Chain A
Amino acid sequence: MTATAPPAPAHGAPSRGRVLPPPVTGQEVVLVALIAVLWLVLGLATPAFLSAGSIVPLLVATAPVALIGIGMTVVIVTGGIDVSVGSTVMVSAVVVATTMVATGVPLPAAVALSVAVGGLLGLVNGVLIAYGRVHAIIITFGTLNLFRFIGLRVFDSSTVEGIPATLAVFGRGEAGRTLGVPHSFAITLVLAAAAWWYLRHTAGGRHFYAVGGDAHAARLAGVAVRRRVLSAYVLTGVLAGLAACFVLAQGTSSLAANVGSGTELAVIAAVVIGGTSITGGRGSVLGTVLGALLVQTVATGVTQLGWPSQLSALFVGVSIVVAVGTDLIRQRTRRSS
């Protein structure tokens, strides 16, 4: 496990061979091929699929899951997990929605508020996990309930009605596109590219892998383990807050209390399909974006083929098993060779 998660890049030691994993892993190549095949097959089966009217909503729907997936990848790389992101999205969405209805805040303020709320909730997770020394899944199961409580209190037992179209720049309508590219997906791609570069090419980024590979060894090597863990959860919270804006923009002018429920599982599925090891120390943001795209392609494809939409969850489950299975087989062959 640790073999693929070296510490900071060793400058001036080229003779020791490859230090970094390859820029694009086998899993990602397989995913690109799979998505291409799926799009081709769906395009042949239903000609409407490969049109802008179908691809743009697909990309817009992918954006929130892929965006939170960036943070979740970092969290899982450090050996943790965050099952509370669905509740974080809910709290951010309802706080922003009620504020917009009450005061009509402009776009930058709405986004800043949403990101701040998400970051604050992420900070709660991070402090409890990094300094309480408790397994991340237990803490985030607890905060999942706490955040839901906060969100439901803000909702006050009803829906939020009459939300203004402040966030339409992130939506799937005309205002949400430049040259046909939806803004939300473009922002996700830019942030994913930045995260990919940071995780791969800076010492700080490699520290996350070191923590996930062996936290004790990382600490002895001078990595500020707690601060790394804390920042991973804050990052996830911030991105969940931004994703809440995307979710609001995709919705109608009313917001119900079930917003964000199930997001955590969709995000974890995307991360895992993208080839990130759940035990930590290995993974890439690129794969996560591709995983989210694959999941959304399957969901869109199932509905466009006229199958019952509930079937898409079955295919997501099968995709997870296949993705993890091929990864396990690759690891075993690599070890034996």
Chain B
Amino acid sequence: MTATAARPADAGTDRPESLPAKALRVLLTQRTALLVVLLVAVLVTMTTLSRRNYLTAPYDTGYLAATLINAVPLVMLGLAELLVITSGRGGIDLSVGSIVSLTGMVFGFAYGLWGWPLPAALLLAVVFGGLCGAVNGALVAYLGFPALITTLATYYAFSSLALVVNRQQPINSEPVQQLYSAAAAVDLPLLPEAFPRVPLGVFTFLLPTALLVWVVLARTTWGRRLYAVGTNDVAARWAGIDVRRTRFSAYVAAGAISGLVAVVTVAQFASARPDAGTTGNGMALPAITIAVLGGVAITGGIGRVGGVVLAALLVVWLNAGILLAVPGNAGAQFQLLSLGVVLVVAALLNGVATRRYGGTS
């Protein structure tokens, strides 16, 4: 965008950059650095408040580990948005929440009512989520629909189907309710007693997904193709990349991840709820917020797994602290405030970084 703009950082060979200036540049241009600093600030502030008894409950490692259960759907859907937004041409997916609702119902039918074994039902959820994503991908990549509109339309369609398919009734039969215990916190073997109890979902769903997306983006040709398509799809096409297929597969992957989140949500609520992903603000808006906060450029071609994970951790642990500092309903309200402020400030910082240093990474 501003490729011709002078970059003081690069031109500083004859005059060495001062340390504060360098720190500022790193903070503004390296999103992960900024997030780490913010994360440390939140943890230090909250722990200090906790030590001085300003909070209603201790803000310790056990509490932090327990709140990680909230990070599971947030990180996974944030990664889904990362893939879609990075694919470029206004890529965005408003429908992830309704895919979670619909796939959750399908999973509920298969596992809770038809008596499918868990692995088969899990596979069905992933495949079904992928199919929902394929509807988005086909419309966006092959027919040239704008992504915002397409996923708005499928948001309506999927959420409506999820409500209608079981007449608005949740599915909470015996097997579905037993899933809940599988999502509870566990003591891990091999780790010392003192290590905090981390929810199992972090190990069974979050870490594998994050690792897989990281490997695919950073270590495979598909990942390089996705970044190329997102940065400049005309150039990518002339370089011999199948732009449509790459973009299509990004939407399919986002749908498949949403399918996995559906299983997590069903286990967490011990019930397949037809409005699981669409109540209130829904799941899509927080997921997009996390992705943007994590440094994913809305224009495509830029975005890292580490940034998304850090952004989700920041929001989850900040929210956990707010719940202790502001008791009652007001706590949930201040969470909205913090999310909004953090997002707007991060976006404005991105703008400053672009003007001053010619871009972020």
Contacts and interface: CB of A to CB of B under 8 A. Distances in A.
B343 A145 contact: yes
Contacts of A269: 152-153, 156
A266 to B, nearest CB: 9
Contacts of B337: 145-146, 149
Contact of A134 (B328, B333, B336, B347): B347
Given A135-B299, A261-B280, A278-B148, A321 B139 contact: yes
Interface string B149-176: 1101111111111011001100000000
B6 interface: no
Contacts of B329: 157
B141 to A, nearest CB: 14
B347 A149 contact: no
A325 B145 contact: yes
Interface residues of B, number: 51
Interface stretch (B16-24, B234-242, B285-293): B285-293
B8 interface: no
Interface string A22-59: 00000000000000000000000000000000000000
A137 B347 CA distance: 11
A316 B160 CA distance: 10
A3 interface: no
A132 B351 contact: yes
Most buried by B among A132, A137, A142, A152: A142
B62 interface: no
Given A272-B149, A320-B156, A314 B161 contact: yes
B350 A153 contact: no
Contacts, number: 139
B115 interface: no
Nearest to A266: B156
A320 B298 contact: no
B330 interface: yes
Given A138-B298, A141-B288, A149 B157 contact: no
Given A133-B351, A152-B333, A146 B152 contact: no
Contacts of B328: 157
B359 to A, nearest CB: 14
Nearest to A146: B340
Most buried by B among A143, A144, A145, A272: A145
A317 interface: yes
Q: Give 4 nearest A-B pairs by CB, closest first.
A: A145-B340, A317-B157, A317-B156, A313-B160
8 contacts: A141-B288, A142-B344, A145-B339, A146-B341, A265-B94, A269-B153, A313-B160, A324-B146
